[in-house]
Amino acid sequence: MKKILIVDDEQDIVESLKFVLEAADFTCYCAYNGEDGLRLAKEIIPDLIILDVMMPKINGYKISRLLKYDAKYKNIPILMVTARSQEEDKLIGEETGADEYITKPFELDEVVKKVEEYLK
Amino acid sequence: MTRILFISDNSQKVDYFNSVFKKNSYDFSSLSDEKLIYEIISAEMPDIIIIDSSFNNIKLINKKIKSVNENSIIIFLTNPNKIEKEIVKYANAFITEDMSEDLILSTISVNLRMKNALEMLSNSNKDLADSLYRLNALYDTSSRFSGTLDKAKLIQFMIEGMDKALSFSLTCTLSLCTEATPVLILDSLYELSDELIEALKLRTVLNYNSINKEEKPEDKQLDITTLKVIKHVKYPASRFTFNLFQYDNMFAPISLGENLFGCVEIFKETSFTAEDSTCFQTIAQQVALPLKSATLYQELIETNQKLEKLERLKSEFISIVSHELRTPLTSIKNSLDILMSGKCIELNSNAEKFLSMAMRNVQRLSGIINDLLDLSKIEAGKMDFHFAPTNINTVIGYVKSALSEVAKTKGLKLTTKESDNLPDITADSQRLEQVLTNLVSNAIKFTPEDKEITISSSLVNSKDIQINEYFKDSIILKNTDYIMVCVKDEGIGIEGKDLLHAFDKFAQIENSLSRKAGGTGLGLPIAKQLLEAHQGAIWCDSELHKGSKFYFVIPVSTNLN
């Protein structure tokens, strides 16, 4: 089973993502702040990361940059999720190497579809 | 009585002149002692001095006299056949021993007249110089006033100006405008005792209350206990006593119209002239205008700071709306999604009904948040547009396919009438979709069952575009070709008087049907702003109970990229 890491300080959002992804036969790991997220990512080496931007301790941009510039982790696809929808934020997301940018509120089905696409 | 001094050691001559002048009621005296001469002229200068030219040392005597008073009249008694050239330099006139008595008296009289004329000239010269100095002081003060918007400096310049023009012993300036609380500024020649300062404070408070009472009773009485004192003393070695209150004084309020900036009282040991008073009042009046400007300037700066703060708060608010509202909304929506998918529990028809009701309202709420965000972004000039060549019929196609299902469920028919071969326009296709979606959604919302909604497109020249009287004045079109889109419905329509406000924020027209239809009333103002960003325009023709036609136009060629 493919491993997915969900990093978001909004527990409710993590819960719902976990529910639909598990229903779609993925194994989910959850972290509720940037620090735990980065540690877990290096520990379990997931097949895909769903990453929130605005988080305590280490923000999503930084995590993305740290992973994407490291040969060991750079092939892990990252889906950035955020409530910020300004164009410049999207640009920053792309620059940090994130593979996809999803803005809140999002459709759960859409996220599942995206995840399946990346892990085909 | 005219005083004549005769300097001679010849007693015969002295006697002669004594008899001549006394007879004609002159105050005549004579001297021969050189030392005594100097003492006498230093103490009181005679009107006319007659010097016997046979007297010793006349050159030196001459010099001394002139050094005491340049304008003193010196007449030489001389030998008619022998006038020394040197003496001519100093002499005002000459008399001779053999001159007739009448001639001597005439010479004296002529010289007296000349002396008086000279004195008058010299006095008026002095007055003129005084006036010039004062005028310069006034001019200097007023140019310093115009050079600053600092209220404390303006008050200081006023006091310095008064010192220059009037040379006071003490000024008491009450300033209400330089600090948060009233300040009494004392500029004194000599040191002031604490008791004297208290007395001056009391005097100033009484002065202030007397001018202020007329307009503002009770509310702005000055409190002596909290009155702050700033003291500047020029010569601290000496002290003023309570005799100060016997000095001559002048008082003036510093005010412009209804604004009272303070008041000033000035003391001087010698008495003030009418000119002093004018000068004093002028300076006190002159400072009021720049004080008013400075106050306005300060208010302007404060208002600006407030506005900047508000603008910052607004941005912060928008970011809160963006993040803090969307995040919980996402969670609600996700939960509803999961429940509706039936993956958790099996739903009966009632549960499904209420879940979809909740879902519909979540979607409505996120629509409202998006509208609010869009509008504030546009107003802040922060909306990003991606201008690219766009075919309007493609946009119409998208909107039709997205909304025909919605129209169908309401029993409405959505049709399109596109003109073929329309040129591309420079536009942000997503934003145009937003505009058109809004117009068509509105049409669906406000049209009763079994009616038709039509979207049409065409190419028109601005001279063929007809805009109704309500919008004619506010829309200015360039003399060029436009793509025109019209959304026509057979709905409730809009009354003429409401048409003008159709594109105002939060201006949904008050009636039962529109209330039922819901919405924030932000869709049309957003559409208007989005079209204006495309150098286009939007307006509406409507007839109550018959239907509306919303038109928008975008120029075929623009300088957008």
Segment B23-34, tens digit of pLDDT: 888 899 998 888
Backbone phi and psi for residue B137, each to the nearest 5 degrees, phi listed first: -65, -40
Cα separation, A36 vs A41, whole angstroms? 8
Q: With beta carbons under 8 A apart, name residues in chain A contacting B343.
A: 19-20, 23
| pLDDT over threshold 90, residue B492 | no
Domain total of chain A: 1
Nearest by Cα to B438 from B347, B344, B502, B350: B502
Residue A12 to residue B384, Cβ atoms within 8 A = no
Cα separation, A13 vs A25, whole angstroms? 18
Q: What is the tens place of the pLDDT at every residue in B453-488? A: 999 999 999 999 989 888 888 888 899 999 999 999
With CA atoms as reference, the chain A residue closest to B324 would be: A83
CA–CA distances in Å: residue A61 to residues A55, B67, B161, B513: 10, 95, 65, 48
| pLDDT over threshold 80, residue B287 | yes
Mean pLDDT of B390-398: 94
Any domain includes A31? yes
Cα separation, B341 vs B359, whole angstroms? 12
Q: Find the range with the poorest average confidence among B66-80, B249-263, B546-560.
A: B66-80
| pLDDT over threshold 60, residue B509 | no
pLDDT of residue B513: 41
Residue A107 to residue B338, Cβ atoms within 8 A = no
Q: What is the tens place of the pLDDT at every residue in A26-54? A: 999 999 999 999 999 999 999 999 998 88
pTM above 0.80, yes or no: no
Q: What is the tens place of the pLDDT at every residue in B168-190? A: 889 999 988 888 888 999 999 99
Q: With beta carbons under 8 A apart, name residues in chain B contacting A108.
A: 334, 337-338
What's chain B's average pLDDT?
Answer: 86
Q: With beta carbons under 8 A apart, name residues in chain A contacting B337.
A: 16, 20, 107-109
- Contact by Cβ (8 Å): B464, B482: no
Q: What percent of chain B has pLDDT over 90?
A: 36
Domain residues for the domain of A99 are: 3-114
What CATH number does residue A32 fall under?
3.40.50.2300
Interface test with A, best of B316, B321, B322, B327 (most A CBs within 10 A): B327
Residue A84 to residue B327, Cβ atoms within 8 A = no
Mean pLDDT of B402-408: 90
pLDDT band at B389 (very low <50, low <70, confident <90, very high): very high
Any domain includes A120? no
Residue with tokens 């404060």: B302
Chain pair A-B, CB pairs under 8 angstroms: 52
pLDDT of residue B516: 42
- The b-or-e profile of A73-103 (16+ CB within 10 A means b, else e) is beebbbbbbbbbbbeebbebbeebbbbbbbb
Q: With beta carbons under 8 A apart, name residues in chain A contacting B330.
A: 10, 13, 83, 104-106
Quick one: CA dihedral A108, A111, A115, A120, positive or negative?
positive
Interface test with A, best of B319, B326, B373, B376 (most A CBs within 10 A): B326
Nearest by Cα to B341 from A20, A45, A120: A20
Any domain includes A119? no
Residue A83 to residue B323, Cβ atoms within 8 A = yes
Which residue pairs from B523-526 have beta carbons closer than 8 angstroms and sit at least 24 positions apart in sequence?
A: B523/B371, B523/B438, B523/B441, B523/B442, B524/B438, B524/B442, B525/B375, B526/B371, B526/B374, B526/B375, B526/B378, B526/B434, B526/B435, B526/B438
For residue B326, give the nearest of A17, A23, A83 by CB distance.
A83
Any domain includes A36? yes
